[in-house]
Amino acid sequence: MTTLDIDNINVSAFDAMPSPEEIQARLPLSPRAVNLVKCGREILRNILDRSDQRLFVVVGPCSIHDPVAGLDYARRLKALADEVGDTLYLVMRVYFEKPRTTTGWKGYINDPDMDDSFRVDRGMQQAREFLLELAELGLPAGTEALDPIAPQYLGDLISWTAIGARTTESQTHREISSGLSTPVGFKNGTNGDVAIAINAILSASRPHSFLGINGQGRTAIVRTRGNRYGHLVLRGGDGRPNYDTVSVQMAEQALRKAALPCNIVIDCSHANSYKKPELQPLVMADVVNQVRLGNQSLVGMMVESNLVAGNQPIPEDLSQLKYGCSVTDACVDWQSTEEMIRDAARLLRTVLPTRAR
């Protein structure tokens, strides 16, 4: 008996993919990289536990599409991180996967050549190469967990993970988060609903069992212990911001009602800046002011930033791509990034040490 007429009727091919262990064996972590990742995760956990009084800032391109420009950005960010490190802990935003509302480029892992060839095998390896170089620079990486298999390939190089507004309500992503080795920021829903993210934090804090793959690439039942470092990311919704004092206080009340720690990160982009990158510095300034006025729940911020301001469409001739400019959401430029982070560090330097633990 055959199932050819009823099985996989909309699948055109199954292409072989190297296992996580194969790719990790090709690109192993050095002792320096291991130490960087362990240290990054520990610092972030300490910030969430309030044993480290600093704020963390996840800052970088909306998505990585050019590793050369990405490393150029990383070197600049490392110098800035060293400069403000007594007050702000900088984590580079390294997003390789992009959820799309309908269609569009799905990110560096899915289509590294940006030509619809979808060489996921090569994209995964090149993504790991990028993260290794970042770790050797001494810069922690933050990313979005989108594909449920990708963490097996790259998770050992990540210090902070986001679950996006479109996937925070997904049971699959809540289960994955319960087993991740990093702190996880859950964004409120695209409609601004904070309850979705709070439910996700609660769910991810519990043990789960689900289908996944192991290091050899074989299907496995993954059993997790639960992740107690889930936290809320406010990114606005339905075209309205939610970083203001009233929205933050309402989020605090919801977290307390759920018996969760009041740990809130503000995403300065997306609906909080009406998707206008030039407004991101104003959002950050408002958050900094809330902390200066005594807010105790704000622990971090997110910024979409690149070498060049704005964004660009992907041309048929990729040689026409503007260097250091986003091909997804528009970003603030490097000069603005330096200014807003330096200003935040200057204004918070004497405030954070006196913050209640």
CA-closest candidate to residue 243, choices 251, 348, 160: 251
pLDDT tens for 304-356 read: 999 999 999 999 999 999 999 999 999 999 999 999 999 999 999 999 999 87
**Sign, CA torsion 3/9/13/14:** negative
Instruction: Give, for all 357 residues of the chain, the pLDDT tens digit.
Output: 556 688 999 999 999 999 999 999 999 999 999 999 999 999 999 999 999 999 999 999 999 999 999 999 999 999 999 999 999 999 999 999 977 666 688 999 999 999 999 999 999 999 999 999 999 999 999 999 999 999 999 999 999 999 999 999 999 999 999 999 999 999 999 999 999 999 999 999 999 999 999 999 999 999 999 999 999 999 999 999 999 999 999 999 999 999 999 999 999 999 999 999 999 999 999 999 999 999 999 999 999 999 999 999 999 999 999 999 999 999 999 999 999 999 999 999 999 999 876
Taking each continuous run of H as one helix and of E as one strand, the counts in the chain are 10, 10
Cα distances from 283 to residues 6, 7, 158, 344, in angstroms, run 53, 51, 26, 11
Report the Cα–Cα distance between both ends of the chain, in Å, rounded.
67
The beta-strand segments (E) located in the chain are 55-60, 88-93, 141-144, 160-163, 184-187, 209-213, 219-223, 230-234, 264-267, 298-304
pLDDT tens for 29-67 read: 999 999 999 999 999 999 999 999 999 999 999 999 999
Structural domain boundaries of the chain?
Answer: 20-354
How would CATH label the architecture of 20-354?
A: Alpha-Beta Barrel (3.20)
Residue reference for tokens 């390294």: 94
Residue 210, SS3?
strand
